[in-house]
Structure 1
């Protein structure tokens, strides 16, 4: 099978695509526009990629194809010629057009048949010619088709675009790897895009090379300003989006198109804003061009608080029609007036009242002072009336009322309205109450109060009338006393007798006021000792009652304390210390207990019809087949994004059972941090496992792609989600056995979910809760020592693995124990070595890692404890600020880990190879850094200048240099 017969169809297809491309693309390589031999290298030279040349309408069309589907262990490469990179292009787009044949359409094709190809890149500062070294290439992506050509039907041409970068050297090569697919490479086009020069929102932005989503700063046009530098996003498609920090025209200028022009005469603009110039307001003079404010006409003003847009106004005149009316209450009158004839057209008009007290003799007036009260007050009055209280009778008062506004200060004389009035004393006040001050067997001492306070210069006399209360007499006889003060002592009275009193006030002229009501008072008897005796008895009774009450209260409190203490002794123990007796509500059932895996599937998973699942795109390869992104139609939920695992044709019975077992395991779990099983397809030819779709993929890859971009608080939140999922599994008596960042998936909300249950097994009901296996592979770097040595897996061994996951997360996907061999890892752990704290790792998080790595598994925290600890850290962000100590000597694998204590690096490439950074060998050489002495002298900025841009790579190289310096100065190396 080959792809030579594309003919006119492919030629017209490529021409149509090329016509639709935008002019903003800067093309670095176009396979179809070459018009001659491409000169690409293939490896192996034979039986691999094959170049096909076709003449269409006099034009040469080159394609590369390979179709070795019936052979195992395929590794076919094709490499482009050297592609010169322009300095401004740090990222480029690679557009591929290709055709892939369906593996099922080949009779006898092996299970190794693939439907994907891999894209690689290698940077260089010069063309290396035919020196094709696969080790210098790094993988960019696995390319999967959206549409697969089935049988001998119509060709399905796929177009995929991938971003390659960041790039730092002068040029690069692209390579395509085939591992057993039937694929034809029709077109390869390498380009980068630019956002064109533009002016938006009064800000100018230069032409900018696209680099994913890039924030570009601009500058305001002439006579425009902005509190912060204007910026806008340049998208990967060469479009300008979301301008920020909008520029505004200065005061005196307005926007006309994308420029700022002066305000015309007769208009103004007082501040820098996006508003237009305004016509000068009322009572102002005509302004000049570019005016900031219009000046007021003569006699008109603005207050300091008035905006420039307000009209000018004149000060107010004097209030009109001022009058004074005496109120019924003594010493009070009400002043009233009308607004002034001239208000200036302002809405902030207020009034103030001034009071002077004048004597009857020579004309002398003094301020009334605080003695006189104004209701509601003497100033800032909005209403045209005020009540004046506490005025004295027989005195003359002069009141002046002044109107105020915001421009009153600009008038030297403030016109006012004045009135002079006096209060005349009429009726004396009424006696409101009479009090008994003292009584004896023959006398009563009384005093009384008046209804109102009288002026100091007014004196009153009082008429006191009293009589003996005698119910038998028909004629009432009063005794009358005239007094000059408000108290009196009445003597010569009879003992134990009740008397009735009433008092009235008299004015200075003798005018009587109103009588008070009658009050009754009694003189004492001669039996004083008996009264005292009764008082003593009453006091004694009160004391005895109080003592009895205190005794009762004390008894009740004691009884309550006894009951409370008994309740506490009989209550349930703290579940934290008695957790072994708490049984989970649901226990995991091992699907291998069923002889027929179909029974377990029917019990734990939902069978769905394949028609409700649509596979859209290959996103990976599983153990038994490919993994697709797809859509499932769900009642009540609509179209749901899902991941579809498939079982390849030609599977064995054991592969089918293992495939179904994983679904049976997943179907038993229901937790927000465990990957959710949507359903399975087992009753049709193509078996499928359908799970929820996680947009960001595996956690380790996501962290490496976002090295340094995620805050420590967010990382701890992701760890909390993983711990919550593992707590759920532990509560179900379930051991994962393969917990690692690669087996944790991340969705679009950065929510982590535990997945991949291929190695997991159930806990047996033995005292130790262990599961023993024989044979099989164990992930050494993530596995607890007892599980490695004795193959005993418990939730405690999962806790050890969780500690390794914590390290992976805080190190942004770094490989645990770096490039140490499995043997070296086991030896180091047995000698009590533990992974060092990643750089910038919070101390509290690293301490939790160390607890997870305790050799005695009984002392490790449980997942319940881990969730509680992480919750407390998230509730107190301040606890994440202290950073754990960092030792660069153990942050990378130095030569000492190989057992040679005195080994030194003989060359820079050898050193870079040891830390897995050999892709920068040419960069160091081009920068003139060829000896280890020069490496030791490098600083942080020197590393960047060499061309290292990725944060993780910069940290690895910097830590290695620090470790080498420490190794050189102390003449000692770290040895595991």
Structure 2
């Protein structure tokens, strides 16, 4: 009898609902709707059980659009169990869905004379199915096989005298695995109206981050799931770090970008930093990166878009060693005001700088000598014996001295001005010419004097004319004296032979000869000693003694050759002996089994260091296969090395780029001179060098897994703590070996540790390293050049005072430990270098990474002691890690980690923490000054 009344009361719900506009929840994620009851244009006809329960009612919203709702109000009857089930909803491959319910509920207290079974809540269920197979009786109307999502309660209910209050609730469930599902609503005795049901899922929309496009990606099965979305560089961009990926979280927000792209040469970032746009005509961009297009340099022009270089105008060039963004230059004009000064057979040349240097600073000069005959035939190049000092080509100074010219000869000298682009011009270098004629000059020295015959009172001598008579020989002067006597006598001869008479028998004489021209006497020959005979034999002629002379000469020649060979051998032995003694002194053992490291820069000639410490390899033994990276001086390649008597092996090959300077070559090979002194399983091994080839090459062992930091990031979470400690132990062992050799690395970081296929870590990159002088009680290296210092890895005393020691390497090793345990996380995250220095100076230290064993973080803190003398030595670090590896249980005691919070606070992607990047960085600084850091 009361049913019509209660039905009328329940029917009040719908009109009240229609008077209130629907509220839209603004969310940041993109939502894709699977089903919305408000879209229905006809009856919903959902399945109900029993028929006296839920009732479908039509109505209109505030825009007079029809909507379909369901209501139930059997509160007078106890033990209500009313079910309402939607049609089949395909899930479209998503793993988690959301249900938005809009409903109103009558306040039980406002309904008079009702039993205590009145409810103000209802239950939400779902049922998965591979197809639309549900019937009026299947599945059974009970919680199992339905899966309960939640009990839905209103935030506000209404009474009869009040307007209907609409409640909006959103619930999610998953993971879903079948083709689709049904929603079901269970009423246990409420007076309510189900106004609308919307089923949707969240997804991260297509976005661009770091110049990479990431596709639309649905969220994961759980609210905390992170779904990886692979990325691809935008058009005209290239990868600078891989893999490219973003994580889509459960709220449909992007976070944690990995990898990045950058605009290629000829393209610059757009104003919104989402694409790479071509440089306009007249502008260019020579390198990939974030830089902007720049106007063409001087004397160059481009009329096309997307130019990575501006071609030079006609008559202007770039040298091979010039950067693509450098101005174009031209060849210099000829040197000015060449002045010559002749002194017999020598010449001094001076000149002034060209009026136009071509716009370059690498101006040098060449001096070309030509000898001109008296007839009208062309001048020819001078003989090689003409000496131009300090050299003929590549002169920086504007003055030379030319010697060994022929007397009374006409010469032509070209003084050329050349620079780095002179070779680009097909014309000859511009030059100034000076013509001179040499004067009369004294003859050169007479060659060795020979004894033809000796008697008791005479010496018969002969000689060859001077190599350079420099005119007509008028006569020769023979000077002689008894050995040990100061007084000399002279005789002259018109020919190249003479007989010196009036000598004492059986007496040694010292003889010298010189030639004379109209210009005067030349230099004497080298002193020669001859002896007179004991008895005179005037009948004996030279012809009679000819066999004796020939035999004596042959024997003498053999003796001379033997003496020369012995002298050379002795000199080599003496030199090698001295070098060996020097080397042995430098390589002497300072403690049993450990050698002293020798700084290659202490050698007067750096090439000597290369030849002493590095093996020269023939170019035929090396085969370059592919480029795998770029270094400071050139490319890094993978290749193969096959030497006689050894198996072919895969190697890493460092190349010195073309156009290098002598200093660059020296610095490039210095690293090989350093590596060649080391022999340890945890230090990169040098196989050899190629200094006689082009390009110059350094060959090292090949490390398959590359740099440690990128390797860890690529394999995040894949290793056990024991494996990570094993890696740290290898690095510490390598550093102990280097420290024992009195060697300071100065740039120890995970990026400078290489990993092979067996996870063996080896210390590499010795470009910043220097010899550690241990002559003082506090050995340090002081950098007077003020080079770049990796702030995040460097000890405070090294930053402040450029004091590098093995203790500063220990500080850096502590940072490496943190990198390894955090799988390649950037130390101090996105803090600036200045903030890092300030925090470290105030005794703040990095917190333990996630799941970091307590003993490891304690060892890190010891490495970061401000007083360097309190830091552990590498030998103790190795011993400590060995103990941890033997007692793996100690690695299971994990510190309370702050790294998770810090990373979340430091995130700068939209939606990660609802704060701007500046706000995030300020939070980091506040946290570093309050609770997160650890004081030591």
TM-score by length of structure 2 reads 0.38
TM-score by length of structure 1 reads 0.37
